[in-house]
Amino acid sequence: MISACIGFKDRDERLLTATIDSLLAEGVDEIMLCNFGAQPLKIERPRLYHIHIPLDRWRLGLAFNICAVHAAGDTLLLLNGGIVLSKGALAASLPLVIPGEQYASPLTHYFRCSEGTTARYLNDQSDNLAFGAKQYDDDFAGDGDFVLIDRSDYLRIGGHDSEMEGWGRENRCFHARAGKIGFKRVRGAGNLFHLYDGFPIGQQHTKGYQTNCDLLKSKESWWRNDKR
């Protein structure tokens, strides 16, 4: 059973709807949605469960942890709102998850969609998302937007660092801690499309980014000595 875990706060609800519908079409068994926004979301779909926690501060890692605790599936798929996977990517990536040994993150190719392509897709969901998208294929592109992992392994790693502010660096923190205790990370198979949300790649609030960088430095010694 696959449980998708999504974090979201105060952004275009159509982006989130596109993510949810694409996951349901790919056969995800349930979707846990943690909304940190001021208002509850109005999206209703089969197998979609809302967790609404209105907070002034946005913590994507904390949202993933909350979803993971409440999820029923033995495999977790962690996604940010506004992500669409290529057809068959989930089915192709699932065999790469080996409980107790390895997990998948990111996918083979990562695309940032243009505003125009995103608008067309949201209107009829038939547009080719690769058209007008910019492709990033470095080692880190999209590794915070797609994580497919055995649930017991996620909990053993300790999930994401809930102290991380906003988004940015929480993915580096998670993958570093996973590697320190012996988990192998492999690329999933398929394409990941990040719909246009108005935020350039890598953009993060300066204060929050520095907070997260300082947290990473302060906890590195703990990672080195972790004997789990």
CA distances from 221 to 116, 168, 180, 226 (A): 46, 21, 11, 9
What pLDDT shows up at residue 134?
86
Residue position matching structure tokens 């789990």: 228
pLDDT computed for residue 207 by the predictor: 58
The answer to whether 16 and 81 have CB atoms below 8 angstroms apart is yes
Q: For 51, what's the count of Cα atoms within 13 Å in the CB-facing half-sphere?
A: 18
Q: In what order do the strands lie in the sheet with 83-85?
A: 83-85, 191-194, 109-112, 134-136
From CA 21, how far away is CA 34, in angstroms rounded? 16
3-state helix, strand, coil in the chain (%, to 5): 35, 20, 45
Decide: helix, strand or coil at residue 98: strand
pLDDT at residue 133, as a whole number: 83
pTM comes to 0.87
Q: How far apart are CA 137 and CA 130, in angstroms?
A: 14
From first to last of the 228 residues of the chain, give the pLDDT tens digit. Answer: 999 999 887 778 999 999 999 999 999 999 999 988 888 888 999 999 999 988 777 778 888 999 999 999 999 999 988 999 999 999 999 999 999 999 999 999 999 998 888 988 998 766 678 777 888 877 777 778 899 999 999 999 999 887 766 666 677 888 988 998 899 999 999 999 999 877 665 555 555 566 766 666 666 665 555 554
Q: Which two tokens stand for residue 132?
A: 């007008």
Instruction: Tell me the DSSP string of 151-170.
Output: HHHHHHHT-S-TT--BSSSH
Q: Are strands 184-186 and 134-136 parallel, antiparallel or unpaired?
A: unpaired
Q: Which domains are delineated in the chain?
A: 2-225 (3.90.550.10)
The whole-angstrom separation of Cα 226 and Cα 156 is 12
- Whole-number Å distance between alpha carbons of 158 and 80: 19
87 SS3 class: coil
pLDDT (0 to 100) of residue 98: 98
CB-based contact 49:70 (threshold 8 Å): yes
pLDDT at 61: 84
